[in-house]
Structure 1
């Protein structure tokens, strides 16, 4: 087999193996979260994304952070917001606004008996994801 074909096969094997690996083991995924994009636009180097997010009772967003800013309104239910030090840094009932700055790792959870519904606007640098998964900072949830 010539050198080119061998390199191509080796590269293909590496890609195939990597594709089969799970995502970063330490990152936490959301549980019981459904999101629907309501509107999306890019203007002046920023993405504006509006979503309706529903979190089932007992569910949560998983640990994550944002590159941009987030503005939200709790449509129904109650959001319990945890900071990186594992403490509750906010409880947001129906009708409450919520704002998150870029940066620190946090987790939003629905500790109530009813679904939590939020309307959220993400304002991010163009092309940035609305949220980036992060490892649990040691809180165990």
Structure 2
């Protein structure tokens, strides 16, 4: 990434106000959500922060997975059904709500859109390294079909 020309940098560092013709920054709200608990120090061990807009069509799923770092999720539209692999507990997160997904294989989960309209979420990933994948797929929890032939 290249920086501004030296004269712009010097003006910035000198503390001079911007010219009166300067355009104001534009802010576009993407999503907001209320959190039910105090947020942990999400970025404490993060080397990379990534923001993504995730859309699940009606009936869509994220598949079973986990993350290497924590995520802050804001549901902007629709209803997310979030199920944890460890005990199959399920919570419903509606538009205007936010929550934190904890990292690690023991925190495997799936997100489903059981509604009839698209689900839109904004996820902020706090990844431990530049090489960290966004997620790791895991098998569905519970008894797996037995593939060995049975004799009767």
Bin of the TM-score, shorter chain as denominator length: 0.5 to 0.7
CA-to-partner distance for each residue in 1:110-138, whole Å, 9 max, x for gaps? 01111000011000111101111111112
User: Of Structure 1 and Structure 2, which has the larger fraction of its residues in helix?
Assistant: 1
What residue is the counterpart of 1:133 in the other structure? 137
Which structure has the bigger radius of gyration? Answer: 2
Structure 1, unmatched stretches of 5+, are 1-43
- Quote the residue 1:48 is aligned against: 49
TM-score normalised per structure 1 = 0.64
1:86 Cα offset (Å): 2.2
Hey, what's the Cα distance between the residues in 1 that align with 2:81 and 2:125? 19
Q: Distance in 2 between matches of 1:92 and 1:45?
A: 25
Matched-pair contact (CA < 8 Å) for 1:86–1:139: no
RMSD of aligned C-alpha atoms? 1.7
Structure-2 separation of matches of 1:101 and 1:49: 16
In 1, Cα distance between equivalents of 2:56 and 2:49: 22
After the TM superposition, list the runs of 4 or more consecutive aligned residues in structure 1 that deviate by more than 3 angstroms.
none
Structure 2: any 5+ residue segments left out of the alignment?
A: 1-44, 145-152
| 1:12-42 deviations in Å (ceiling 9; x for gaps) | xxxxxxxxxxxxxxxxxxxxxxxxxxxxxxx
Higher strand share: 1
How many positions carry a matched residue from both structures? 96
Report matched runs for 1:1-141 at 5 Å.
46-84=47-85, 85-88=87-90, 90-103=91-104, 104-126=107-129, 127-138=131-142
